[in-house]
Structure 1
Amino acid sequence: MTDTKVRSALDYCSPVPLPYQSQDVLTIAGIEPSDDRLGATQNDLVCHNPDGDQPYFNTNGTIGPYYVSPQAVVALIGTTDTNQSRMIPADVDELRVVLDKCKQHYPVAPPFSCGPNFYHVDYDSAGVIAGITQLWQS
């Protein structure tokens, strides 16, 4: 997973865009420590900005509830020793810690960091989040 591209809104607005629906990208407030509830808001994708800026995600509002599988596959943006960005495999507990520390402005243990709070999520057939991948905000 270390050579997985860090994705951004631009990837969903490219000439051959990745598929996108607003429930696919969430801003995550946190995950309850004792259960699988995830506090999050959906994001609209803005490809054609009248100001000419790059595409970006725009918070749409709280919709939910969302639930995350304890076994969800998680990938977070981290840095290498040479300060290169790369995707780092993680689990739900590590994501919970990163979210909580970043919300409180505490440092996060390397290789993780307090990066953009945008996550592409994949759902299983029951509507439970089975995959979470952090995205850059463009």
Structure 2
Amino acid sequence: MNGLQQYQRINTQTSITDADPHKLIQLLYNGALERINMAKARMQAKDYEGKGRLISKAIEIVGGLREFLDLEKGGDLAQRLASLYEYMERTLLEASMRNDITKLDEVANLLRSIKDGWDGIREEVVNQQQAV
């Protein structure tokens, strides 16, 4: 298992090094969703310490997504996303305190919806970056 974890860590580091800003956000969405799914499994296994660490990491990632927002350039959309990310952070904390899988699922579904939209604009963003 240790070898697999080292491979995953190296693979993640390589992905981050090679990533453009749009891809970095995709990696954050993937990381948050992965941590939430892992926390759900830890919760079901009654490993509350592991669940707590994973949810804390998911909260950190969502907080990072919120911090990446440019509230000046992003206008109303950025403001709404900031509010949604804050809601997700609170909901994840509540899920951890109450061992509530439905709250984890709620946040995962919200993240997936945003991620789908973000993934959908990938080609447009790459074309804009190449034009600059």
TM-score, normalization by structure 2: 0.25
Higher relative contact order (CA 8 A, sep 6+): 1
TM-score, normalization by structure 1: 0.24
For the pair shown, which has the larger CA radius of gyration, 1 or 2? 2
Structure showing the higher strand proportion among its residues: 1
Structure showing the higher helix proportion among its residues: 2
